[in-house]
């Protein structure tokens, strides 16, 4: 039995030592080594990720997350490429290697592109989640710009690795770009409109905007390269081409520093003597109000002799810009004004008409007509 095993081992070693069959064993060992290396790098990266979560910086997490898949693909591409060289050298068949060699270069370039894009994507998410970033629009814009730069660079590198002339391609692209520009004017206008939104930043995601020129009002949900998505206050999605924003005026109430209370209140002509005291008490009330910004313009003045009332107006600003809180404060101010008016024995005026008639004149006119 022992002699049989020894003979079998000798025959196997003689077989694999032949030049024409040794590449099979060597290729198998290379692929097995690639498997072990891939498992090792996965375990190593996993350990590094656990340690990276304990650090304060987010960039180590970003780098390790982006690296995990591309490095595994590169290990297998290089291993299979080396196996292809062994097979070509042993079999003398150039076709197999000639087909695989460009594929290896393309694969490596794609892995690098994937790595950088994953790096940008992970960085964008981590910055928005873990950091206190108020301007999300700028973060999204930089990420999209990074995707475009990496994509174009990767495409040009791929074309060059395949033997294509980039200079000739760019010359052709210049002529083709003119034709495409005429055919896609609206698309390009929307693209540059989105670019101007990102650079000028008239509004950001989450802002409440409105346009006095168009029936546009709502909260910005997404700013794309072609359209901006707005959610109206009745919860309808509104999609606006970005080129529109270069043609209209846009208000951004979300960036208000204060909200204004501007109201006109009228009292009866019979209460004219109480007007000065009412104005004085109203101004004192506003100056003492905790939600009124007294550092801004504050006016309470007798304003007009109206047809049915003596009018005074209130002009002041609240500290808050929140829409709901503003109306609560405004309501409180107006109720206190009513209390002041009633406290002075006066009344708010309403439209009235007084008719003066001479005694018996109406009846004389009726008798004459009959």
- Asked if the model's pLDDT at residue 366 lies above 50, the reply is no
Q: What is the distance between the alpha carbons of residues 120 and 143, in angstroms, rounded to a whole number?
A: 6
Closest CA to 248 of 200, 215, 224: 215
Interhelix angle 166-183/185-200, nearest 10 degrees: 100
Residues in the chain: 370
Q: What is the distance between the alpha carbons of residues 71 and 35, in angstroms, rounded to a whole number?
A: 13
Q: What is the pLDDT of residues 249-281, one digit of tens each?
A: 899 988 899 999 999 999 999 999 999 999 999
Q: What is the distance between the alpha carbons of residues 131 and 126, in angstroms, rounded to a whole number?
A: 7
Closest CA to 145 of 200, 204, 194, 207: 194
225 CA to centre of own chain: 11
191: phi then psi, degrees, rounded to nearest 5: -65, -50
Q: What is the pLDDT of residues 194-220, one digit of tens each?
A: 777 777 788 888 899 999 888 899 999
pLDDT at 176: 52
- Asked if the model's pLDDT at residue 121 lies above 50, the reply is yes
The pLDDT > 90 percentage for the chain reads 29
- Asked if the model's pLDDT at residue 72 lies above 80, the reply is yes
pTM of the model: 0.53
Of residues 115 and 195, more confidently modeled: 115
With H, G, I as helix, E, B as strand and everything else as coil, classify residue 102.
Answer: helix
Residues 6 or more apart in contact with residue 204 via CB below 8 angstroms: 135, 136, 137, 220, 223
């Amino acid at each position: 039995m022992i002699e049989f095993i020894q003979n079998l081992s000798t025959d196997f070693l003689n077989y694999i030592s032949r030049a024409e069959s040794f590449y099979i064993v060597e290729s198998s060992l290379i692929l097995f080594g690639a498997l072990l290396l891939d498992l090792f790098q996965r375990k190593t990266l996993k350990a590094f990720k656990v340690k990276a979560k304990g650090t304060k910086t987010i960039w180590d997490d970003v780098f390790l997350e982006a690296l995990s898949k591309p490095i595994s693909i590169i290990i297998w591409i290089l291993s299979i490429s080396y196996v292809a060289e062994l097979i070509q050298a042993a079999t003398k068949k150039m076709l197999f290697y000639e087909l695989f060699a460009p594929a290896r270069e393309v694969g490596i370039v794609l892995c690098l592109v994937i790595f950088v894009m994953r790096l940008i994507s992970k960085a964008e998410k981590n910055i928005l989640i873990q950091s206190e970033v108020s301007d999300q629009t700028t973060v999204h814009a930089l990420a999209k710009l990074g995707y475009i730069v990496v994509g174009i660079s990767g495409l040009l590198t791929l074309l060059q690795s395949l033997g294509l002339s980039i200079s000739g391609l760019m010359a052709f692209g210049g002529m083709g770009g003119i034709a495409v520009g005429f055919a896609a004017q609206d698309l390009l206008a929307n693209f540059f409109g989105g670019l101007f939104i990102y650079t000028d930043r008239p509004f950001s995601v989450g802002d409440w905007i409105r346009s006095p020129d168009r029936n546009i009002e709502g909260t910005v949900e997404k700013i794309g390269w072609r359209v901006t998505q707005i959610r109206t206050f009745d919860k309808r999605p509104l999609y606006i081409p970005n080129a529109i924003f270069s043609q209209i005026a846009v208000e951004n109430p979300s960036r208000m520093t204060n909200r204004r209370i501007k109201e006109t209140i009228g009292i009866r002509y019979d209460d004219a003597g109480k007007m000065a005291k009412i104005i004085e008490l109203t101004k004192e009330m506003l100056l003492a109000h905790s939600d009124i910004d007294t550092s801004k313009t504050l006016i309470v003045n007798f304003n007009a002799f109206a047809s049915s009332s003596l009018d005074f107006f209130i002009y002041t600003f609240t500290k808050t810009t929140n829409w709901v809180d503003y109306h609560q404060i405004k309501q409180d101010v107006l109720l206190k004004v009513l209390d002041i008016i009633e406290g002075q024995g006066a009344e708010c005026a309403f439209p009235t008409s007084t008719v003066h008639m001479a005694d018996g004149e109406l009846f004389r006119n009726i008798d004459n007509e009959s």
